[in-house]
Structure 1
Amino acid sequence: PVLLNTSNAVFADNIIPGYEIAYLPNPNLRWEKIEAWEAGLEAYFLKNRLNFEGVYYKKKTKDLLAEIPGIAGTRPGLGNLGSMENKGVELTLSWNDKIGSEWRYGVSGNLTTIKNKVLYLYQEGYNITTGTSGLPEMSYTQAGYPIGYFYGYKVEGIYQNQAEIDAAKNTLGAKPGDLKFKDVNGDGQITTADRTMIGNPTPDFTYGLSVNVGYKNFDLSVDMMGVYGNEIYRTWNLYAWSQFNYLEARMDRWHGEGTSNTEPIMANNRNINRGSTPSDYFIEDGSFFRIRNIQLGYTFGADMLKKLRMRSLRVYINAQNPKTWKNNTGYSPEIGGSAIAFGIDANPYPIPAVYTFGLNLTF
């Protein structure tokens, strides 16, 4: 079994770690099963200068392994709780050619779509909820929805006065200047029943583009990639004691009737605006485009190699992750997480840009 170090004890001069099982034993636990198929096409045109590859895939995972919350005071368990489906297409198109005897070039692009859906989960109405440390759960996994989708209230403005709150029959303790939530179920009041899907951390598609150019002994390559259609849940600036500055958008905060209908009041005691109540106020666009790598190199010719008494010599300069265009306010648009809780931006360390110079030589 998997053990966790949950406590320590001191005996004489020694600190002895204490362990307990990570999960309650489940005699009925079994491996996940995967059923998958794909259909593809590969074609070459114009004397093999143009290449196309296309694949449609469909993958169904049964007997999903997931954590089952334990009874109060006990460890959680592992169980086979349901099934999930992923499907989409993978497309690649490339062109390689020469211009005269000295120029050569190539262009390649790829596109991958993914549609994710939980088909079944334990029993009707069952869901798995996950959050981040110190915050309510905002990631939900439920049959009929994408895995780990964001769950909360939809915002439709800012309460300007008490009369608006009274008319909405608000039961969440809102005050003037607080976020106004949408009455999703249409019962005339704001309750927990108005929570709904507010974002999907899984992108609609990912794509890439690479270009390489050569002239005589020089070569240049550029590699780019992007992600489109996913959402990020921002949590890194929810605390008053945080070391981060306020977002620039907070300059337009509500500070009196009619002053703002997009940014709530800046008051630390208004928890409804500070993350204790998940809503799409914290949802950001996760789409981005990045230049992943640029490399310029020169390969020495045979005459020079003979003089240097070498078999091969190439010098290059390289830039890794030099530029990213993004829409979220955090340091990085690439947010990891677990299989059922990802895309939650607690402002992880940003991906660094790295610039290098190198030699490849053989004596």
Structure 2
Amino acid sequence: MSLLFSPHAVGPLTLKNRVVIAPMCQYSAVEGAPQPWHVQHLGRLAISGAGLVIVEATGVEAAGRITPDDTGLWNDEQAAAFAAIIRDIRTYSDTPIGIQLGHAGRKASTSAPWKGGGALAADDGAWETFAPSAVPFKADWHTPTQMTEADMDRVVAAFEAAARRAERAGFDLVELHAAHGYLLSEFLSPISNQRTDAFGGSAENRARFPLRVARAVRDAWPRDKALGARFNGSDWVEGGVALEEVTAFGRALHDMGYDYLHLTSGGNVARADIPGDQPGYQLPFAAAVKAAAPGAAVMAVGMIFEPRQAEDIVASGQADLIAIARAALDDPHWAHHAAVALGEEERLPKQYGRAAKGVWPGYGRSV
């Protein structure tokens, strides 16, 4: 029996298998509200065969958007738009749907990748950005405002309010975004956090604000729904976040009551040399956190696209859950096909049953 396709508990939520669709920015929202693109995108993933689908990084305040096209949960209209999508999905799929809540920090006020991906000009609607220190991500990006304690209070309240809106919208899970060089990740890294007060310097100080946000979200999110966090295992440069700091942060989240820990890396330094073409290149970070936080459910991600590779990761105990992203965009039925490859039932939606292996002679053939 495949372990990848065995049920697994994530706190109070039991997934039908261990395949997770990771958050993927779509840059297609209007004023933070999801659009018809999101309807088809999330609906397709909800019938993909995965055990869990997590909605893209969603800003907790307008200043926390990566781009003007990001989804948001800073007002009730946005929550209502998400609620409508979830209601529709529930008419044809019971796949749990989560949402990732984040703040872009110094990487905010930029354009979508296909619009240039750089810092917005004033004429394009640029806004003030915030970060632990007044250090831009790149020389030609906005120099952020160093956050005051009042700014921190505002952001904590925004995360708390967004978590409550996510619950009212009907999401089954929330993932706290503390990775990829966005605000919470910026506080954790000595590269981007150059403060000399109680929120900078030592690893304990650098984790102080992210853990305060984490506590606020934990207190706001119902205990009968799952809660996790995504954070970096490395900045991929000398002088970046250390692995012992990563594992300590993971243990702190686990002790706080977070149901799973999702390990990724990079995004905090523009010049970093990341081996992103190597399958499973981020796996050591997941394995290290799993070893350091016994009992924590750990999610691995990063160039995992072969079913056997995913099975071996789970079987070896390096991680409990496997997150895929681009593999699901390339093949929306990756999980169904992986199940067949590992000797399990395909379990396609009944409407697609005529295309199953052994039924349709063209199954699995490339164009």
Q: TM-score, normalised by structure 2?
A: 0.20
Q: Which has the higher contact order (CA 8 A, sep 6+)?
A: 2
Q: Which has the higher helix share?
A: 2
Q: Which has the higher strand share?
A: 1
